Structure 1
Amino acid sequence: MGLFDFVGDIGKKIFSKKEEASAAVTNHIAEDNPGVENVSVKVEDGVATLEGNAVSAEALEKAVLMAGNIIGINSVNVDKVSVANGETLAGDDEFYVIQKGDTLWKIAEKTYGNGAKYTAIVNANKEVIKDADKIFPGQKIRLPKAL
């Protein structure tokens, strides 16, 4: 399935030492698990390798974003994750990297022609957007296509 790139020096800080990274990222995903059973993460040289069984491609995408939007993670490898029903990650949603000056309202306006639809973006990213007013440049999110 592949490797997803992220900006390694931005995001949520959840570990201080390299030795803590694997357990910290695994726990982070498990706490707000989007639907990846038996999830485990091994972090080595900034690459988070996810393992487990995703109930859907959407669940796997959310887990990828949860791991990738952490300081110290440069990329996320999902080759060791199986997805139920053989779904692939080439779904209807697309990834978007937040730019300086972006707001969720502006992103929704540009994407859907209606800023009020920013709530759909928040709902699609509830695992990585805990507060709609706290997004940051370089953060990667999902933009649902079907609205």
Structure 2
Amino acid sequence: MSLLDFAKNIGRNLFSSPEDAAAKIKQHIEEDNPGVHNLDVVFQDGVVTLRGTADSWEAADKALLMAGNVQGVGKVASELAVTPADGGAAAPQGSTAAPPGAVEYYTIQAGDTLTAIAKRFYGDASQYPRLFEANREVIKDPDKIFVGQTIRIPKA
């Protein structure tokens, strides 16, 4: 099981009461489904737990970030089983952390832009579309990122 921390008081406002949270977060993930199946979402005291299967490490990461970048969510516990659709090696049950070194997470700071982040991580500001594509489910417009938002930084 992987567990990531998020800024609880920021993000997309999806639910008005804790009773609605799990259903709204599940709907949010399924609308831009990154490759997750049989999704079950549990919300309790600001912690989201995701269960189901993912087609890839990337799909599991994206679902995790989609849940975490929701206002009211402080942590996401992922119990998604990664079962590659292409027949590749499956991850151990309950493991969704990307393979070591494959991805890094970054929390947006005041003054950040995708070009500045690309320059910092890749040494080339023109690589910002790579960041946008890797985070399309949580960034709808490359000019509209917000402080506290957590994104994926693919290494490969």
Deviations 1:8-54 (Å, cap 9, x if unpaired)? 00100011111110100000000001011111211110011101101
Aligned to 1:66: 66
Partner of residue 77, structure 1? 77
- 2-side partners of 1:72 and 1:60: how far apart? 21
Q: Distance in 1 between matches of 2:2 and 2:38?
A: 19
State the Cα distance separating 1:90 from its structure 2 match: 3.5
Partner of 1:103: 113
Residue 120 of structure 2 aligns to a residue whose secondary structure is helix
RMSD after superposition: 1.0
The 5 A counterparts of 1:1-147 are 1-79=1-79, 81-84=80-83, 85-87=89-91, 88-91=96-99, 92-146=102-156
Q: Percent identity?
A: 51
Corresponding residue SS for 2:152: strand
Residues 33-84 of structure 1 show CA distances to partners (whole Å, capped at 9, x for unaligned) of: 10111112111100111011011111100000000000000000113x2111
TM-score, normalisation: structure 1: 0.95
TM-score (structure 2 length as normaliser): 0.89
Q: Is the 8 A contact 1:26 1:39 kept in 2?
A: yes
CA contact (8 A) 1:58 1:89 kept: no
Distance 2:132 2:5 in 1: 22
Q: Which runs of 5+ in 1 are unaligned?
A: none
Q: After TM superposition, give the deviation of residue 2 of structure 1 in Å.
A: 2.1
Q: Give the Cα separation in 1 of the matches to 2:132 and 2:143.
A: 10
SS at match of 1:86: coil
